[in-house]
Amino acid sequence: MKKSFKIGSALLALGWTLPHIPSVSFPAMNGTALAAAAVPADSALSLKFEGNVTDSSSALTPVSAAGSPTYTAGRVGSAIEFKTAGQYLNLGKTANTTFGSATDYTVAFWMQSSGVTGDPVIIGNKNWASGANTGWIVSLQSNGSLKWNYTPSVQTRTDVTIPGVADGSWHYIAITHDRNGSAKFYKDAQMVSSVSIAAKQGSIDTTSNTNIGQDGTGAYGYALKAKLVDGTAVGLK
């Protein structure tokens, strides 16, 4: 079974697509419109942010916006912008947004951020009050880096940091997860890190929703302060 999320058109782009692991399809790095790319048939979510958060994939995953995030000009088309901790997108807790203990998945996104305070969440399903809590998170850090945190049930946490992401420039980030192998990290089409997750058995699902711009609780104190553009996706295989 395969699922993918694609999250749409804005100045920070968050893109989840779950094609085959570990293959990653990188969009053009020369400013070519990602918005024009076809939505993969296996997508679980595709958000273009052209004035709404309607899922344009065949999965029709329900998405709701909290706190009235705004729309602005994006890299291509329009973008959705988060300015406060109360502004986020709720993807719910459905078969399309849960990965269990065995589903391989990929998270990929275009991002532009000029910096944040604290460690706000880009996307995740866990209570980010502690990285030791079960679940997964992709966040930004106050030093401009991106942090990935992964904690299956009854396991210790694993963290990877990618420097130089929230630096005011556009970056394309992709993170592939082979549940019996490694998580691999790509920045601007170059693999920059890899870590084995084969021994990290157990479910990464939680009782919380998966959110964009907030942790699973929807109440984390730090604001993402970024924009999302077409090309953000999450996929499962």
Query: What is the secondary structure of 119-133 as a DSSP string?
Result: --EEEESS-TT-TTS
Residue 20 pLDDT = 32
Among all chains, which residue has been given the structure tokens 């019996």? Answer: 180
Arithmetic mean of pLDDT, 219-225: 93
pLDDT confidence band for 69 (50 / 70 / 90): very high
Q: Which domain holds residue 88?
A: 3-236
pLDDT confidence band for 41 (50 / 70 / 90): low
Q: Would the pLDDT of 56 be above 80? A: no
pLDDT confidence band for 3 (50 / 70 / 90): very low
pLDDT confidence band for 143 (50 / 70 / 90): very high
Give the contacts of 167 (CB within 8 A, at least 6 positions apart).
113, 114, 115, 144
Residue 20, domain CATH: 2.60.120.200
Written as six digits, the tokens of 115 are: 């910096």
User: Which segment of 99-113, 155-169, 196-210 scores lowest on mean pLDDT?
Assistant: 99-113
**Prediction pTM value:** 0.86
Among all chains, which residue has been given the structure tokens 């592939």? Answer: 176
Query: Do residues 218 and 65 make contact, with C-beta atoms less than 8 angstroms apart?
Result: no
Count of domains observed in the chain: 1
Q: Among candidates 4, 88, 99, which has minimal Cα distance to 46?
A: 4
